[in-house]
Structure 1
Amino acid sequence: MAEEREIAEAMISEIHKKITDAFDVFDHEYNKTVDVREIGTIIRSLGCCPSEGELHDILAEIEDEEPTGYINFDRFLPTMTKVLMERRYRPIPEDVLLQAFEVLDQEKKGYLTPEQLTKFMSEEGEPFTQEEMEEMLSAAVDPDKNVILYKDYVTMMAVEAP
């Protein structure tokens, strides 16, 4: 029984360290607060992939009653500890991502054009912003062929996930 408790405490301690380290990267004033706009980046750096709606729910939970534009570490830590312990917002597995691209590639060519991907990503689901599209395309487009070889891109995305 005591051994199980020690394991649980060690696990929580490790999670707290990960959260603290990620938060501290954006705590530019060293005052245990970060700009609210950085929270999504911090959460994603911890291996979580919440939707925009889920991110707004997290913010609603950790923001002060009167939003200040900043998030306090003492409010962030318990919420993120719970998220990580419950393994919420896990990344989509590589095979599922590949299937999604294959559905979009109706002609079964093995690639999508930047225009096709931009159309899908800006019109379906949670639309990407122009900045998000440009960032994604800069990583996804094969510079020689000017297409997205999605099997390679999916593998790259999966490898880079924490």
Structure 2
Amino acid sequence: MAGEKETAEAIVSDLQKKITEAFDVFDHENNQTVDVREIGTIIRSLGCCPTEGELHDMLAEVEEEEPTGYIRFEKFLPMMTKVLLERRYRPIPEDVLLRAFEVLDESKKGYLTKDELVKYMSEEGEPFTQEETEEMISAAVDPDRNVVLYKDYISAMIIED
């Protein structure tokens, strides 16, 4: 029984070390706070992919009563530890992503044009913000051909567990 407890403590300790390292990258003043706008990036760097709505809920959980524009480490750490322990907001598996791109690629050409991608991102489902769209385009679009070779893009985006 003692072995199981140590393992659980080791897992939590390891997660908290990762969270601390990710938070510290954005703690520019070294004062245990980060700009609230950086939280999504920190959370994603830890392998979580919440929707904008889920991210908003996470922020509500760690924000001060009087929002300051900053998130304190002491509030972020327990919330993020719980999220990682519960394995919430996991990335979508590669085969599911591939099927989604294949559905959008109606003529089965193996790529989407930049214009098609922008159209799907702004008109379908939960629309992406301008910033999210630009980030995705800069990461996904092959600059020489101006298309998304989605099999290559998916392979590059997969985070190994």
Q: TM-score, normalised by structure 1?
A: 0.94
**Alpha-carbon distance in structure 2 between the residues aligned to 1:161 and 1:8:** 22
**Alpha-carbon distance in structure 2 between the residues aligned to 1:26 and 1:141:** 28
Q: Structure 1 runs of 4+ off > 6 angstroms?
A: none
CA RMSD of aligned residues (A): 1.3
Determine the structure 1 residue equivalent to 2:138.
138
Determine the structure 1 residue equivalent to 2:25.
25
**Alpha-carbon distance in structure 1 between the residues aligned to 2:132 and 2:102:** 22
3-state secondary structure, aligned to 1:34: strand
**Alpha-carbon distance in structure 2 between the residues aligned to 1:37 and 1:141:** 25
Q: Deviations over 1:81-135 (max 9, x none)?
A: 0000000000011110000000101111111110001000011222222232222
* Residues 1:6 and 2:6 are matched in the alignment: yes
Higher mean alpha-carbon deviation, 130-139 vs 37-46, is at 130-139
Alpha-carbon offset, residue 161 of structure 1: 6.0
Determine the structure 2 residue equivalent to 1:118.
118
Alpha-carbon offset, residue 151 of structure 1: 1.2
Number of residue equivalences:
161
State the AA in 1 paired with 2:129.
T
Determine the structure 1 residue equivalent to 2:91.
91
Q: Deviations over 1:57-95 (max 9, x none)?
A: 001111111111111111101100000000000001111
State the AA in 1 paired with 2:32.
K
Alpha-carbon offset, residue 148 of structure 1: 1.2
Determine the structure 1 residue equivalent to 2:129.
129
3-state secondary structure, aligned to 1:40: helix
% identical equivalent positions = 76
Structure 1: unaligned runs, 5 residues or longer = none
- Matched-pair contact (CA < 8 Å) for 1:47–1:161: no
Q: TM-score, normalised by structure 2?
A: 0.95
